[in-house]
Chains A and B, each alone.
Chain A
């Protein structure tokens, strides 16, 4: 077992974990943060995307011990406003119906937030390229792209 101390969604946590434990397992099984989901388990689909020290990573492709001393933000910690309010990107996905089954949505939103942080006013092509590490098997991506562009418009207003 290896001791880790990190910040997850604003709260300091510490645990003894097996070195082989994946960050996504740690979030789900130890902390109960099941908003972050496991899709493909091969680092392809991006459903497990979280932010590690402020940038997007696939949490199935990071060991929990690698997050020692660092800051993790999951979909559950994205909205920092009062209870019931959504993050603007979450709100945009809701408004534009950027989901069908919803399984890829936590990862889509986390990646969209990262993308807009780096490029606040992206073109449609830049959104499609920036989201290439996130797979959706329902929507055909159109409303997801629309949601990201809508969130960018909203941030300008």
Chain B
């Protein structure tokens, strides 16, 4: 199918894009890589009157070192996040998760910021961003503000980004040398996860961060698991008790891929696997 007609704007700076958003308000939709938006437009699930393409704003692309954090431009592709040396060194979990997004062709187009702003609870990047305590830099008519990961994801497909604002970059605190693994459970290739677990650990195991994908209307932190993993040994027995806590406080959906109870079971099992692989024990 073909999208409903729309007007197309291609700003070349964030200021221009914000001005266009200000002018067209909720009739406008931001186009980043388009790998989620274009299917929505084609199926006519959404029909914005104006599409504002950020593809021409080069300042939104790239990854840089910023002292205690790395900064990922919102329009950086999954492919570039997966391969970038700074990501591998300081936020390996993001590289692992970016490698699992959809398929090669979609990773070439889809963007880090676009996926996070889309906030699909089954998206692969929310849980790792949350686990790493990412900070979201959002530009608006009044300037720039920074939102902590815990406050960024509001609900299903809803974030702290206002209707007149644009996500410009994501600051990821350095987790240099931390092991990482993204354990994704899918029924067929290149699909959204039924459940996935993002785990990153320091040592084996001094500290751990664990994020859950598709276990509620937003990505979630498995904080009880994290607390129980501090000082645990990286063995099946050592992580069993912590893994058992992974589904605490979750409210996963029930659908054709599985009932909520099944997803909670998966979260516990996949957490054990993700943590052990992150610690290099499997």
Contact = CB atoms under 8 A, between A and B. Distances in A.
B10 A65 contact: yes
A146 B5 CA distance: 43
Interface stretch (B102-110, B119-127, B146-154, B232-240): B102-110
Given A25-B2, A65-B8, A133-B103, A43 B108 contact: no
Contact of B51 (A19, A25, A58, A111): A19
Which of A41, A44, A66, A134 has the largest count of B CB atoms less than 10 A from its CB? A66
Contacts of B105: 46, 49, 56-58, 61, 111, 133
Nearest to B103: A133
A116 interface: no
Interface residues of B, number: 30
Interface string B2-34: 111111101000000000000000000001001
A111 B107 CA distance: 13
B4 A63 contact: no
Contacts of B2: 20-22, 25
Contact of B3 (A20, A56, A58): A20
Contacts of B53: 63, 65-66
Contacts of A43: 35, 38-39, 106
A37 interface: no
Interface in A126-146: 130, 132-134
A19 B6 contact: yes
A2 interface: yes
A62 B106 CA distance: 10
Given A43-B106, A57-B105, A58-B106, A18 B5 contact: yes
Given A46-B103, A56-B108, A133-B105, A61 B6 contact: no
B245 to A, nearest CB: 32
A41 B39 CA distance: 8
B100 to A, nearest CB: 10
A61 B35 contact: yes
Contacts, number: 85
Interface string A48-67: 01001001111011110110
B103 A132 contact: yes
A66 B43 CA distance: 19
Nearest to A66: B55
A114 B43 CA distance: 29
A133 B34 contact: no
B84 interface: no
Given A49-B105, A58-B105, A65-B53, A132 B190 contact: yes
Contacts of B102: 133
Interface of B: 1-8, 10, 31, 34-35, 38-39, 41-43, 51, 53, 55, 79, 102-106, 108-109, 189-190
29 contacts: A2-B8, A19-B5, A19-B8, A20-B2, A22-B2, A22-B38, A25-B2, A41-B42, A42-B43, A43-B35, A52-B109, A57-B105, A57-B108, A57-B109, A61-B34, A61-B38, A61-B109, A62-B34, A63-B8, A63-B53, A65-B10, A65-B53, A66-B31, A66-B53, A114-B104, A115-B104, A133-B103, A133-B104, A133-B106
